[in-house]
Structure 1
Amino acid sequence: MGTPLDSRQAQAEEVVERLYEEYPDTTISLNFSNRLELLIAVMLSAQCTDERVNKETAHLFEKYETVGEYAEADVDELSEDIGSITYHNSKADYIVSTARTLIEEYDGEVPDKMDELTELKGVGRKTANVVLQHGHDVVEGIVVDTHVQRLSRRLGITEDERPTDIEQDLMGIVPEDDWQQFTHLCISHGRATCTARNPDCDDCVLENVCPSSKLDHEVDLASGEAW
């Protein structure tokens, strides 16, 4: 039986409050200095760690400084430049194609609308949300990465499985003022405690409000009390 909406809202608010206390300064971990670099970094981060992306972009952003240089880049050479990134061949093609589209349709600028961003090759709603939030200070949704998917399901905030469905569900449950930070809170907690294979329930600030806790008690989602 699914959790009633009002209980899921209470659950989400409690989770956000506790994670704010635990990770007060959490934010995006990708390195960038402008919107173009942000867009490329997020494109590279798909199914790849931010740490790995930051290592590659440290030299990539020195070699390619403008959208024109990416648009004129040789795809095979760019692929070699990002060789340690997952799916580097496809991502190199996406970057060159996207750079050309930016020049042809947006005067070389990164657009600030969801529908325009998601029309770029290799850019989905997740990437577009990150670019809007951290490049344009526009919050239209919630970035749903693997950490958000895992934590929101374990915590009983959503039962959906597809990222697009999870986002729509969360947008109706998580307070809008917390949409942007919700992702970073989940990422921080997912990395530190609620890992994919071995979550540390014994040392988790959410343990007594988590229906997936490995510890031996039941949880009242509405009140947040263990019994």
Structure 2
Amino acid sequence: MFPITKKSIALLIATIAAPLLPAQTVLLDVGYWWNATSGQPQTWNNVPNITFADDTELVANMVDTSGTPTGIKLTMTNAAIAATSSGSESSTLYPSTATADTYYDSTSGDAKIEFEFSNLDTDKTYSFTIYASRTGLSTNRSALYTITGSNTGSGSLNPTENVNNTITISGITPTEGGIITLTAVPDASNADPQKVFYIGVMEITASVPESSSTGLVLALGALSFILFKRRKALQARR
């Protein structure tokens, strides 16, 4: 029979609760295949410019920053026009190989880039941090980024001469089918005649909702208290 002790109860709580609490982060470098990000302390997923066609599978099984496969698949459901390497190389947020190149689109195309993330964990929430940079110009080329799962969030970012600015959209839960989409279009403030806009880095963090993990820990704590009191009562009868 499993002995009920303070140590065994603490071990039970740690074993069950620990996998729920840490966040898992995935980094994506969107741009040219020849400017991939590698050799960093954190592992990156490189999204190459192999082809610009709708419904193109870009990464079959993304890895997190420790190099562990996540099972998450990335598909470009609405293709960009092309890639460019006119971004900042001075950012302190990410490696220059990630910040210097981007995907872009404009009214020369259909002015829309869309990615689908599938095989997501429906018990987790996801936050998306987006970076884009375009140097050598002064015109506002802001994009509106919308993240859609079972709920929706959005934010805009101007890449013009951007070095260290990002936007983060948090608290997105996948659909019942485990899918979240990221859609980029020109923002209303975009003043470029052709409404050019970009996306260069995506940082995705998955975590268990605080209410779920906290509730489980509290429940386990209550269970441990009951079991410990029971053990003390049994000892008193001896």
TM-score (norm 1): 0.26
Higher strand share: 2
Instruction: Decide which structure has greater helix share.
Output: 1
Structure number, greater radius of gyration: 2
Q: What TM-score do you get using the length of structure 2 for normalisation?
A: 0.25
